[in-house]
């Protein structure tokens, strides 16, 4: 802490006139201190308010002179100072004017008051040198006079700056970072150009034609522009002059904006196109399933004779073109015969025969319409 505060300067009000001049009381400041110590009869440092005693002494003199001057002015107006009370504004104003215009030499220095009634005293300037405060000058604000002793000492041989020193420095982008990112961007640009050239050269290939080559080309161009924006974004005052900044700023804006718009827009368009294609395929499948279920409702029969027959009939419908009529005749001739369990099986067989006939008729009608169409 002692090293940190070494050499600092402090100011305070002068409470004792440093000059050996006589005051209005016909005493010098040193004579006043000697009389005060003789009256106290003890160490002045143990007495409270000892340092402010010269100020108090001069304040009494200022009040006495102001009252004396006020008394003279009141006589001219037919008033007396003895008639003063706190409700008498005329006498109060006269005392204030007399006190404000007082000026004399006191034991604390030149006594004078400002417009607000405050004491305008000397200012003592001290500096801490080797852990001890030493007087290096005085300033008299009433006369705007500075008394300097030229015994000040400064670290470094000169006084510190009395203002905040602003040092303008350029902040540059790290060259290692800029070079690394530029190399990666260059590799990305080369890859995008290779993909673009490959897509254009093999544009006649069916797989490339079916993959929306124009959108792929747009994506490659957008990626190239976006990666190219890395270079102007890394340029600063270390690489270019102030006159180039308008062009570089515009290049940053347009390269990044166009690159992002082309790359993202084309990818989004392609994703939407794929989504639309698969959605339409699913819709067609659903419609086809619904149409088949309406044409062949017995396919829901599982492993029943109708279901089995319908699947077999769809494999070879011509096989049953004549056998259906034989089965139908058999069902009509003996629609029911008892089984070993005592139940009749004619009705299920008859239903199966009817299903075969219906299928045979349906196939014939469908073939007829197909041939006629």
State pLDDT tens for residues 238-269. 788 888 888 888 998 899 899 999 888 888 88
Decide: residue 66, CB within 10 A, 0-12 exposed, 13-18 middle, 19+ buried: buried
State pLDDT tens for residues 273-305. 888 877 876 666 666 665 555 544 444 444 444
What's the whole-model pTM score? 0.42
Tokens of 277: 């294609």
Q: Which of 183-187, 297-301, 328-332 has the highest mean pLDDT?
A: 183-187
Q: Which position has the higher pLDDT, 355 or 256? A: 256
| Distance between CA atoms of residues 28 and 35, nearest Å | 11
State pLDDT tens for residues 73-117. 888 888 888 888 888 888 888 888 888 888 888 898 888 888 777
Decide: residue 295, CB within 10 A, 0-12 exposed, 13-18 middle, 19+ buried: exposed
Backbone angles phi, psi at 119, to 5 degrees: -75, 130
Q: Which helix (H) or strand (E) holds 250?
A: helix 245-295
């Amino acid at each position: 802490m002692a090293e940190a505060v070494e050499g600092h300067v402090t100011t305070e009000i002068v409470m004792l006139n440093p000059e050996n001049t006589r005051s209005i009381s016909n005493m010098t400041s040193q004579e006043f201190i000697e009389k005060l110590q003789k009256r106290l009869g003890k160490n002045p440092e143990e007495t409270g308010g000892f340092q402010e005693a010269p100020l108090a002494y001069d304040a009494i003199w200022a009040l006495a002179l102001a009252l004396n001057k006020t008394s003279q002015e009141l006589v001219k107006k037919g008033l007396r100072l003895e008639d003063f009370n706190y409700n008498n504004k005329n006498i109060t104003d006269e005392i204030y004017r007399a006190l404000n215009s007082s000026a004399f030499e006191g034991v604390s220095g030149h006594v004078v008051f400002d417009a607000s009634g405050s004491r305008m005293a000397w200012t003592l300037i001290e500096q801490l040198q080797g852990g001890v405060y030493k007087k290096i000058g005085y300033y008299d604000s009433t006369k705007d006079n500075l008394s300097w002793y030229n015994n000040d000492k400064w670290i470094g041989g000169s006084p510190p700056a009395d203002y905040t020193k602003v040092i303008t420095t350029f902040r540059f982008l790290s060259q290692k970072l800029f070079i690394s990112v530029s190399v990666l961007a260059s590799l990305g640009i080369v890859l995008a150009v290779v993909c673009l050239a490959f897509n254009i050269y093999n544009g006649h290939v069916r797989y490339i034609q079916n993959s929306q080559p124009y959108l792929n080309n747009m994506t490659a161009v957008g990626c190239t522009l976006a990666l190219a924006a890395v270079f102007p974004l890394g340029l600063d005052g270390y690489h270019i002059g102030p006159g180039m900044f308008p062009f570089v700023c515009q290049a940053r804006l347009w390269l990044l904006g166009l690159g992002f718009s082309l790359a993202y827009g084309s990818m989004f368009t392609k994703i939407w196109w794929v989504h639309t294609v698969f959605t339409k395929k699913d819709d067609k499948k659903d419609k086809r399933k619904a149409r088949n279920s309406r044409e062949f409702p017995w396919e829901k029969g599982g492993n029943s004779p109708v279901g089995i027959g319908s699947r077999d009939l769809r494999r070879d419908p011509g096989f049953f073109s004549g056998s259906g009529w034989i089965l139908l005749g058999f069902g009509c001739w003996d629609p029911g015969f008892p089984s070993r369990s005592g139940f009749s099986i004619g009705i299920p067989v008859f239903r199966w025969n009817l299903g075969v006939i219906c299928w045979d008729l349906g196939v014939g009608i469908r073939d007829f319409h197909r041939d006629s169409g």
